Structure 1
Amino acid sequence: MKSQIKPTIYWSILNYKDWEMYIAATSKGLCFVGSQSMPFEELKSWANKRFPGSPLSESQETLMKYKGELVEYLDGKRKTFTIPFDYNGTDFQLSVWNALCEIPYGEIRSYSEIANKINKPAAVRAVGTAIGANPILITVPCHRVVGKNGALTGYRGGLEMKTRLLELERQGLSQ
C-alpha cells in the first residue's frame, strides 16, 4: 500500500496596523486564519489535528496573495474574497461554513437562521459547534453570526476581535 503524501502547510504572520495573526495555506488554498495576537501554538495545534504529519513551512511568498486580500478587507476596501480555500471538515461542517460564506458583508445572522439555511432547524447547537471549528476566520465570516437576541456570542478569535470585525464592516457599509 502506498503511503499518502502529506501536504505542506505554508504559514506566515499577518502584521497590519494593529492586527497580528498567523495565516496558513496548502497548495490548494488558504486553510487557516488565526485569532488576533495568538501565539504560533494555535496554528501548530490546529495543524496537528487537521493535517497530522504535514510539515509546517514558513513562506512569505506563498502567503502573499492571501495577505493581500486580508489587508484589503481590514482596510475596508474588500467585501468578498476571491482567494481559494482548502478547508477540511465533515459534510455537516462544510455545509455550515458554506452557509457562512453566503452572509453578505455587514449583515448578521443567528445560529438558528444558519440551521434553517442548511435544512437542519433542530441542529442549532451543532451549528454553533461547527462554526467554532471554522479554521479560516474572517474569510469564512463566522463573526457575522450572533445569538437569536442579537447578542454577541462565542468566537474563536475572542469577542473583542468579533466586535472589531463587525464594526469594521459597519464602517465599510457607510463609505
Structure 2
Amino acid sequence: METIFVDRFSIDSYQFVVGRIANGVCYIGIEDVAAAELAKFFKGWPLQAVKGSSEDVKRELTAYFNGTLEKFNFPVALIGTDFQTKVWQKVKAVPYGTTTSYSQIAQQVDNEKGVRAVANAVGRNPLMIVVACHRIIGKNGRLTGYRGGIPMKVALLEKEGISEFAY
C-alpha cells in the first residue's frame, strides 16, 4: 500500500480534501466526512498531510466551479474492485451537462439486472465531481443520494445547465 498524500483547500463554500498517490489523484471529498471516507475506501493505507500537494486539482476544480472547465486533465488513480472501476470509467465518460441513469450504466457494463450493484459502486466513488456521479440519476428522473449531499448534487447539475430533475 502506498502512502496517500492528503491536501485540503476551499472553493466557494466547499471544503475539499484531496488524496493522491504516485500515479494520480485517488480521492476527492468534503472535509466533514473525509476522514471516515478515507478510512473506508482505503482501509489501512497510510496517510500523510502535504499542504499544497494538489494545486493542479484546486486550479481545475476552481475553473470548473467558475464555468470555464468541463473536463479534468490531472491524472487519476481509480482504486477499487474490477467491477467498481469498470462502473467508474463509464460514469467518468458521461459528458458535462448531461445525465444518465443507473440502469443505463448497468447496461453499459453488461449487467442489466445489476442496477443495485451499479448504484453501490457509484456510491463508493472516491473521486467526487471528477468521476461525475452527480450526473447519475434514477431512471424516473429522480435525484438519488450523493456523497456531498443532495443540495450539492443539485448545485453541480445546475452549474452544468441541468435543471430538469425530480426530488
Q: Does 1:16 align with 2:7?
A: no
For residues 97-132 of structure 1, the C-alpha deviation after alignment (integer angstroms, 9 at most, x for no partner) is 000011010000011011111111111010000000
Q: Is there any run of 5+ residues in structure 1 with no aligned partner, and where?
A: 1-5
Match of 2:109 among 101, 118, 126: 118
- Bigger Rg over Cα: 1
Counting aligned pairs with the same residue, the percent is 38
Assess, with a 3 A threshold, how the Cα gap between structure 1 residues 113 and 7 changes in structure 2: closer, same or farther: same
- Distance in 1 of aligned mates of 2:42 and 2:49: 16
What is residue 30 of structure 1 aligned with on the other side?
25
In 1, are the aligned partners of 2:4 and 2:45 still within 8 Å (CA)?
yes
Q: Runs of 4+ in structure 1 displaced over 6 angstroms?
A: none
Shift of 1:51: 3.3
**Which runs of no fewer than 5 residues in structure 2 stay unpaired?**
163-167
Alpha-carbon distance in structure 1 between the residues aligned to 2:65 and 2:9: 11
Q: Equivalent residue of 1:98, what SS?
A: helix
Distance 2:146 2:81 in 1: 20
TM-score (norm 2): 0.90
> In the alignment, which residue of structure 1 is the partner of 2:147?
156
The 8 Å contact of residues 41 and 124 in structure 2, kept in 1 or not, is answered as no
CA-based RMSD of the aligned residues comes to 1.5
| Equivalent residue, structure 2, for 1:72 | 63
Whichever residue aligns with residue 27 of structure 1, its letter is A
TM-score norm. by structure 1 comes to: 0.86
- How many correspondences in the alignment? 162
